[in-house]
A and B are shown apart, each in its own frame.
Chain A
Amino acid sequence: MQSLKLTRKEPLSPRITRFRFEHPEGAPLPIFAGGAHVMVQMQDGAVLRRNAYSLISDPADRSGYEIAVQREDQGRGGSRWMHEQAQPGMVMTIGAPVNLFALNLTAKRHLLIAGGVGITPFLAQVRDLGRIGAPYELHHAIRSAAEAVPLPDGARLHVSDQGSRMDLDAILSGQPLGTHLYVCGSDRMIRAVLDAARGLGWPADALHSEEFLAPAPGEPFAVHCARSHKTLTVGAHQSLLEALEAAGIDAPWLCRGGACGQCETDVIACDGTIDHHDHWLDPDEQAHKIMPCVSRFRGQLLTIDR
């Protein structure tokens, strides 16, 4: 975690705002590769929020990091806080870049498909691709013109309510051998693109996806932490990971979005049902493990190894 100064805040679309962070003394920031995200920490009243956002600025530009945040009024409040409370001049706590969506540089060509705000990791990746001279194709699918953000040259925009819906089969069918496919967007969009690609014969090792899961709200539930001898209640709008942190229990994390595997925790006893929301656990692991960053529990009592 580092303290960085918010130096610029400007709208990219009615719901998406760009934020630029710089070192308070102007020191160069650690370099990253396109696809990386940072964890942004927000003190929202009594609640400490940590949201992951993809870096959208040029990875080679060490003078600042930029992110784009879409306002989610139904969300848990992090994006609303960024839109309403974060102001230029504030010093905020930002994590080091972590990359769970790296380009495969052995690919002969890169096909990048974004849905809505899922465009963000690609904005940094196309800078890397441009620098190394790798051929790529970028598609941005949005529902209405209000979701449009400035795109790099050559990117193709598909607006479904204007009848220019993305023709996935046509895009996926014409790609030369050695093309890798990257998709970022909603869960539904990612599934649609990956299913279409698999159905057309794309092998799994050419497919890459990233979805940021916000921890879903749900009913409050009780959890017993066997190692720390504590029993806590996870609030309706709190994740299990946040509840552990609030209770001072040491719990590892990296993506806070169910993708990296870092927070994996053993379940010792479970009198009820775990709602697994992650992309990490295999079905056969779900009976005895939980990912506290996104998953919840319904039932009498959950006992975990923390």
Chain B
Amino acid sequence: MSTPPPTSTGFASRPLHAPLLARPCTAALMIADEAGASALLALAEATPELMPRTTVLLADAGVMNAALRARAPARLVETPLAGLEPALDALLAEARMGLQVHVAGSEGLIGRAVARLLAAGLPLGAIQSEHRGSPARRMQCVHCKTIAEDITTDPYTCPGCGRALYVREHFSRRLGAFQGVCIDAETPGEVPEPVEIQS
């Protein structure tokens, strides 16, 4: 069984920071879901001068859209969570070095956004992320490679191969997902009672 992950910055392989901080930049990109939007608001509150250079990308942020719009970013783009990747790609196509990115929200949102940012060539050093909301994780089965979103228990059942997988603390930045590894490989059928993932 895996132990709960250490909080925020204790995690070397995930670019986690809390709170998000403004850094010198030519332009900023802020990305959040509904739970993460409050972290962006805190950042906007602390550094209002950043907002005229900032593009905000909100994925299913619901009532938080208006609150962020009130912070007067240079641009605000709304997207359904399912359309995060194409919306992000469109913004990155115009981006130049000097961009600093802030991501806030669920593990799934952070993982997906960071993977896309890295694929576009943005170095990890230009990305900060803050986990807010559900502790649900984006998982990849190391056996059949199926990605499962919103996993809240450990172990969980892989939707691809049906194996019982335990949640490893190993995070792939390229995939934006944690690894799920077969829990009963040595003693088939002996699967511990699933417990809620804590953070």
Q: Which residues of A are at the interface with B, using a C-beta cutoff of 8 A?
A: 107-109, 172-181, 198-206
**Interface size band for B:** 10 to 19
A176 touching B97 by the CB < 8 A rule? yes
In the assembled complex, which residues on chain A have CB atoms less than 8 Å from the CB atom of B98?
172-173, 175, 200-202
In the assembled complex, which residues on chain A have CB atoms less than 8 Å from the CB atom of B13?
none
Q: How far is the CA of A143 from the CA of B24 in the complex (A)?
A: 30
A205-B124 contact given A174-B96, A176-B96, A199-B24, CB 8 Å threshold: yes
In the assembled complex, which residues on chain A have CB atoms less than 8 Å from the CB atom of B179?
none
Q: How far is the CA of A108 from the CA of B27 in the complex (A)?
A: 20
A206-B24 contact given A177-B121, A201-B126, CB 8 Å threshold: no
B24 touching A173 by the CB < 8 A rule? no
Q: How far is the CA of A213 from the CA of B97 in the complex (A)?
A: 30
A107-B126 contact given A174-B96, A176-B97, CB 8 Å threshold: no
**The one of A179, A181, A198, A205 that contacts B24, using a Cβ cutoff of 8 Å:** A198
Tell yes or no: B35 within 8 A of A by CB: no
Q: Looking at the assembled complex, report how far the CB atom of A175 sits from the nearest CB atom of chain B, in whole angstroms.
A: 4
B24 touching A200 by the CB < 8 A rule? yes
In the assembled complex, which residues on chain B have CB atoms less than 8 Å from the CB atom of A177?
92, 95-97, 99, 120-122
A203 touching B126 by the CB < 8 A rule? yes
A200 touching B121 by the CB < 8 A rule? no
A201-B120 contact given A177-B92, A177-B97, CB 8 Å threshold: no
Pull 12 A–B residue pairs with CB atoms less than 8 Å apart, ordered by A.
A173-B26, A173-B96, A175-B96, A175-B98, A176-B121, A177-B120, A177-B122, A201-B23, A201-B27, A202-B126, A203-B100, A206-B126
Tell yes or no: B25 within 8 A of A by CB: yes
B95 touching A201 by the CB < 8 A rule? no
Q: Looking at the assembled complex, report how far the CB atom of B90 sits from the nearest CB atom of chain A, in whole angstroms.
A: 13
Which B169-196 residues have a C-beta within 8 angstroms of A?
none
Q: How far is the CA of A142 from the CA of B51 in the complex (A)?
A: 39
1/0 per residue, CB under 8 A from A, across B9-24: the answer is 0000000000000011
CB nearest neighbor in B for A201: B25
* Main SS class of interface, B: loop
B123 touching A203 by the CB < 8 A rule? yes
A202 touching B97 by the CB < 8 A rule? yes
CB nearest neighbor in A for B124: A205
In the assembled complex, which residues on chain B have CB atoms less than 8 Å from the CB atom of A181?
97
CB nearest neighbor in A for B126: A203
How many inter-chain contacts with C-beta < 8 Å in the A-B complex? 65
A203-B121 contact given A173-B26, A177-B96, CB 8 Å threshold: no
Instruction: Please indicate which of the listed interface residues B23, B98, B124, B126 has the most CB atoms of chain A within 10 Å of its own CB.
Output: B98
In the assembled complex, which residues on chain B have CB atoms less than 8 Å from the CB atom of A200?
24-26, 97-98
Q: How far is the CA of A17 from the CA of B92 in the complex (A)?
A: 45
Considering the complex of A and B, which 7 residue pairs feature the smallest CB-CB distances, nearest first? Answer: A178-B121, A203-B125, A201-B25, A201-B98, A205-B125, A203-B126, A108-B121
CB nearest neighbor in B for A202: B97
Please name 18 further chain A to chain B contacts, defined as beta carbons within 8 Å, in addition to the given A108-B121, A179-B121, A203-B126, sorted by A numbering.
Answer: A172-B97, A173-B26, A175-B97, A177-B95, A177-B120, A177-B121, A178-B97, A178-B122, A180-B123, A181-B97, A200-B24, A201-B23, A202-B126, A203-B124, A203-B125, A206-B97, A206-B125, A206-B126
Q: Looking at the assembled complex, report how far the CB atom of B26 sits from the nearest CB atom of chain A, in whole angstroms.
A: 5
Q: How far is the CA of A199 from the CA of B23 in the complex (A)?
A: 9
Q: How far is the CA of A82 from the CA of B124 in the complex (A)?
A: 44
A205-B123 contact given A177-B92, A200-B25, A200-B26, CB 8 Å threshold: yes
CB nearest neighbor in B for A111: B97
In the assembled complex, which residues on chain B have CB atoms less than 8 Å from the CB atom of A202?
97-98, 126
In the assembled complex, which residues on chain B have CB atoms less than 8 Å from the CB atom of A204?
125
Q: How far is the CA of A180 from the CA of B123 in the complex (A)?
A: 9
Instruction: Please indicate which of the listed interface residues A178, A179, A202, A203 has the most CB atoms of chain B within 10 Å of its own CB.
Output: A203
In the assembled complex, which residues on chain A have CB atoms less than 8 Å from the CB atom of B24?
198-201
CB nearest neighbor in B for A106: B121
Q: How far is the CA of A198 from the CA of B126 in the complex (A)?
A: 11
In the assembled complex, which residues on chain A have CB atoms less than 8 Å from the CB atom of B27?
201
CB nearest neighbor in A for B100: A201
Q: Looking at the assembled complex, report how far the CB atom of A180 sits from the nearest CB atom of chain B, in whole angstroms.
A: 8
In the assembled complex, which residues on chain B have CB atoms less than 8 Å from the CB atom of A206?
97, 123, 125-126
CB nearest neighbor in A for B53: A201
Q: How far is the CA of A109 from the CA of B122 in the complex (A)?
A: 11
Q: Looking at the assembled complex, report how far the CB atom of A183 sits from the nearest CB atom of chain B, in whole angstroms.
A: 14
In the assembled complex, which residues on chain B have CB atoms less than 8 Å from the CB atom of A180?
123
Q: Looking at the assembled complex, report how far the CB atom of B97 sits from the nearest CB atom of chain A, in whole angstroms.
A: 4
In the assembled complex, which residues on chain B have CB atoms less than 8 Å from the CB atom of A175?
96-98
Instruction: Please indicate which of the listed interface residues A173, A181, A202, A205 has the most CB atoms of chain B within 10 Å of its own CB.
Output: A202
